[in-house]
Amino acid sequence: MLDASALQRLGIATASTALALAIGLVVVAAAGYDPATFLMDMFEGAFGDQNSIGRTLKFTTIFILVGVAVAIAFRAGVFNIGVQGQFVVGGFATVVSILRLAPLLPAGTVGGLALLVLGTAFGIVAGGLYAALPGVLKAYGGANEIITTIMLNFIAVGIVGYLVEGPLRGEGNRAPNTARIPEYVQLPAVAFDSPDFSLVGLAVALVVVAIVSVVMIRTRFGYDMVTSGHQEAAATFSGVDAGRTIVSTMAFSGMVAGVAGAVFAIMIQGYYSDPGGVATYGFDAIAVSLLAANNPLGVVPAALLFGGLDSAGTHIGINSDVPPQLIDGVVGLVVLFVATPELFRMAARRTGLGGERR
Amino acid sequence: MSVAGYVERNRLELGSAVAVVLLALVLAVALDLPLAAIVTVGFIERSLQAATPIALAAIGGLYAEKSGVFNIGLEGFMILGAANAAAFVWLLGGESPTQGDLWLAILGAVLVSLVYTLLFAVLLVRYQADQIVAGLAVWFIGLGFGPFSAVLLWGNRNSPGLVSMNDVTVPVLADLPLLGPVLFDTSPLVLATAVVAVLAWVVLYRTRYGYWVQAAGENPEALDTAGVSVTRVRYAAVIFSGAMAGLAGAVLLAHAGSFTGTGDTMVNGRGWIGIVAYLFGNYNPIGAAAAALLFGGLDMLQIQFQTAGIEVSNRLVNLFPYVAVVVVLTVWGSTRMPSAVGEPYESEE
């Protein structure tokens, strides 16, 4: 997919999504529901009114951040399947640090702002460190990062789940949740009057995209990263330390996942719950990044698509009988087709639609 | 591959395995853990049961990888296998399915697995899909459509209690001390898995077909020159691996007795552990089954800790297998993969 032209990529992404949706509709019909109503419900759930749009943008914000986290690693030829775990650890660290620091700082706007910044910083550090671990294991132990990052997801969910159930459960909480972060630590509502979405969160995500793009394109570090992904031998010859690049790539990727965790914890939850029940943004992120051909800028439209799908899924879960898990399956199909560009190239050649270039 | 040869080649692995067991023993004595209460016949039986699905998935996965295709979709195929088996049990037996229904459901789940692993194999072999990404996609598809079908059937991501596999007792042999209750008074699926592991070993290392599989992964050009279709060998191996993972999911269901579709579903990472099991077993089916037994045992420790009255949070004990996988991969990370893994092969004609 990386060797395709921009236009080809767009075509493959569109065709993959369309084909996956078409299969989804067939499944809907086979399960005895009306596919036309289902499509209408999906559109309404994603963009129907201000509420839906706010919800779509809320999911989009998280998808942009986790998608960029995945894209950084994939770009460098490292598979970070552990974004979910880094996202959980980052978000949890954010909540815990805000809860611990809150009594030390003045309440009110200034204190709130300080706590936002400090909490996010802790989230970034925690996410980065948790991602650096599989990086170190790969670089110096030869451990396959695909498997270790997946195992570390399970481990992160288990440990954070244990902590919110027992030692760090908020006082008097029946549910396994931490205490709530103070009222004054929240993102201001702009344009959307929603308790769990703020345009400021979306702006943070876009700023991160810009920073990551600049780092990848304009800095020595980014250049080394991408070269070692594409031409490992060449990178080694030009003096890049392969092991160190792997570790720093993973750490960078995990830091962005940490931002995602922080935004999720502050903007959406306001406390931390058992991560076994938290949506699997970190996995969908892989689909987001692939759809964007691992380009940080391309992640934004891809995240909007997935944000829309998830928002539609929420709407469908409430307003129709079709099980919303269908959306997860459709996401899987999108990934499957994105992994198979050859399928569409051949189809294009057969039908004579711009298949002349390979 | 003789036993002596295997020991010779895997000295480091075997040595470390012995070291781990010794370390565990020393720790147990140092911490004064009630060993007798932990290592019981029941524990060994439960460990064997827990190891069964992992071993089956691992054996399938290692065939695919030996043939040059990394089937990282084992976890997804296991979820679909478990969901399909549960659906078949329900459709055949309704509220009160019988043992016969369960056997038919396992068979049905494997047949359905054959169909979609055929499609998967076409995408991998013919259309040269990125093996890693396509395998992950299968996981997502399983995580989505597994619970989806459960909601369609039962209105809930979990099935009601269905039926679980009865133990079979082999007369006379079951009365043997220790081995009797463990091996001859147990789920027939455990015994079947042991047979499958041995058969898989024989086929891989002692038959012409097994040499083809190995050649397809090590030196596809040579196999092609010898007049054997690399593509066909790879198709067969990928389809076998998916069907085995489907069987593994069905077996998991048969032991559990109901389908769980919440969280990471009832499969809960066992497919991934299966991949590690065959890496740990150095692509040897019997080694993979032994590694699966290690992970199965770790998985069952929590029950032993409870009955022995050791106060550790369930959630933390549940993490043992995952932590073990990370440790195993780091210590044994440099297992040699077949040299042509991940590379699509195009015949010259």
Prediction ipTM score: 0.87
Q: For an interface test with B, give the residue of A335, A344, A349 to mutate (most B CBs within 10 A).
A: A335
Residues with Cβ within 8 Å of A298's Cβ and at least 6 positions away in sequence, in order, are: A9, A291, A292
**Alpha-carbon gap, residue A338 to B32, rounded angstroms:** 54
Interface check for A155 against chain B (CB to CB < 8 A): the answer is yes
CA angle in degrees (0–180, nearest 5) for B325-B329-B334:
165
Q: Which residue has the higher pLDDT, A174 or B215?
A: B215
Residue A2 is predicted with a pLDDT of 47
> What are the chain A neighbours of B139 within 8 Å (beta carbons)?
283, 332
**Alpha-carbon gap, residue B7 to A355, rounded angstroms:** 54
Q: Which residue of A has its CA nearest to B262?
A: A277
Query: Shortest Cα distance from B14 to chain A (angstroms)?
Result: 18
Does the distance separating the beta carbons of B333 and A142 come in below 8 Å?
Answer: yes
Q: Does residue A83 register a pLDDT over 70?
A: yes
**Alpha-carbon gap, residue B11 to A353, rounded angstroms:** 57
Q: Which residue of A has its CA nearest to B151?
A: A323
> What are the chain B neighbours of A138 within 8 Å (beta carbons)?
333
> What are the chain B neighbours of A325 within 8 Å (beta carbons)?
144-145, 147-148, 151, 157, 261
DSSP assignment of A226-266 = HHHHH-HHHHHHTT--HHHHHHHHHHHHHHHHHHHHHHIII
Query: Shortest Cα distance from A115 to chain B (angstroms)?
Result: 31
Query: Shortest Cα distance from B181 to chain A (angstroms)?
Result: 34
Beta bridge partners of B185: B169
Return the sign of the alpha-carbon dihedral for residues A74, A80, A85, A91: negative
**Alpha-carbon gap, residue B212 to B223, rounded angstroms:** 7
CA angle in degrees (0–180, nearest 5) for A289-B339-A78:
25
**Under 8 Å between Cβ of A300 and A65:** no
> What are the chain A neighbours of B151 within 8 Å (beta carbons)?
323, 325
Query: Helix axis angle, B230-256 relative to B41-66, nearest 10°?
Result: 160
Query: Shortest Cα distance from A339 to chain B (angstroms)?
Result: 5
Query: Shortest Cα distance from A308 to chain B (angstroms)?
Result: 17
Q: Which residue of B has its CA nearest to A139?
A: B330
Interface check for A330 against chain B (CB to CB < 8 A): the answer is yes
Phi, psi (deg, nearest 5) at residue A171: -60, 130
Nearest of B231, B238, B202 to residue B216 by alpha carbon: B231
Interface check for A166 against chain B (CB to CB < 8 A): the answer is yes
Q: For an interface test with B, give the residue of A146, A154, A289, A320 to mutate (most B CBs within 10 A).
A: A154
Over chain B (349 residues), what is each successive 10-residue block's mean pLDDT? 59 66 70 69 87 96 94 95 96 88 95 95 91 90 94 91 84 73 80 93 94 92 90 95 97 94 88 89 91 89 78 80 84 70 72
Does the distance separating the beta carbons of B326 and A151 come in below 8 Å?
Answer: yes
Query: Shortest Cα distance from A155 to chain B (angstroms)?
Result: 6
Does the distance separating the beta carbons of B139 and A332 come in below 8 Å?
Answer: yes
**Under 8 Å between Cβ of B325 and A171:** no
**Alpha-carbon gap, residue A71 to A94, rounded angstroms:** 23
Beta strand spans in B138-241 (E) = 168-169, 185-186
- Across chain A, mean pLDDT equals 88
Nearest of B323, B255, B328 to residue B291 by alpha carbon: B328
Q: Which residue has the higher pLDDT, B307 or A281?
A: A281
Q: Which residue of B has its CA nearest to A167?
A: B313
Q: Is A252 exposed, middle or buried (0-12, 13-18, 19+ CB in 10 A)?
A: buried
> What are the chain B neighbours of A143 within 8 Å (beta carbons)?
326, 329-330, 333
**Could you say which residues from 275 to 314 on chain A have a Cβ atom under 8 Å away from some Cβ of chain B?**
276-277, 280, 283-284, 286-287, 290
**Could you say which residues from 42 to 81 on chain A have a Cβ atom under 8 Å away from some Cβ of chain B?**
79, 81
Q: For an interface test with B, give the residue of A88, A340, A343 to mutate (most B CBs within 10 A).
A: A340
Interface check for A10 against chain B (CB to CB < 8 A): the answer is no
Residue A27 is predicted with a pLDDT of 92
Does the distance separating the beta carbons of B313 and A329 come in below 8 Å?
Answer: no
Residue B8 is predicted with a pLDDT of 60
Q: Which residue of B has its CA nearest to A313?
A: B144
Q: Is B152 exposed, middle or buried (0-12, 13-18, 19+ CB in 10 A)?
A: buried
Residue A188 is predicted with a pLDDT of 82
Q: Which one of B128, B315, B326 has the shortest CB-CB distance to A152?
A: B326
**Alpha-carbon gap, residue B33 to B122, rounded angstroms:** 52
Q: Does residue A196 register a pLDDT over 90?
A: no
Interface check for A339 against chain B (CB to CB < 8 A): the answer is yes
Q: Which residue has the higher pLDDT, A177 or A252?
A: A252
Residue A258 is predicted with a pLDDT of 97
Q: Which residue has the higher pLDDT, A203 or B298?
A: A203
Structure tokens at B75: 């976890």
Q: Which one of A284, A326, A335 has the shortest CB-CB distance to B148?
A: A326
Beta bridge partners of A194: A197
Q: Which one of A150, A329, A336 has the shortest CB-CB distance to B134?
A: A336
DSSP assignment of B148-195 = HHHHHHHSSSSPPP---PPPEE-TTGGGSSSHHHHHHEE-HHHHHHHH
- pTM, entire model: 0.89
Interface check for A347 against chain B (CB to CB < 8 A): the answer is no
Does the distance separating the beta carbons of A158 and B318 come in below 8 Å?
Answer: yes
CB pairs under 8 A between A and B: 153
> What are the chain A neighbours of B134 within 8 Å (beta carbons)?
335-336, 339-340
Q: Which one of B138, B315, B325 has the shortest CB-CB distance to A158?
A: B315
Query: Shortest Cα distance from B333 to chain A (angstroms)?
Result: 4
Q: Which residue of A has its CA nearest to B144?
A: A329
Residue B121 is predicted with a pLDDT of 95
> What are the chain A neighbours of B130 within 8 Å (beta carbons)?
1, 339-340
Q: Which one of A150, A277, A286 has the shortest CB-CB distance to B272?
A: A150
Q: Which residue of A has its CA nearest to B320?
A: A155
Query: Shortest Cα distance from B195 to chain A (angstroms)?
Result: 28
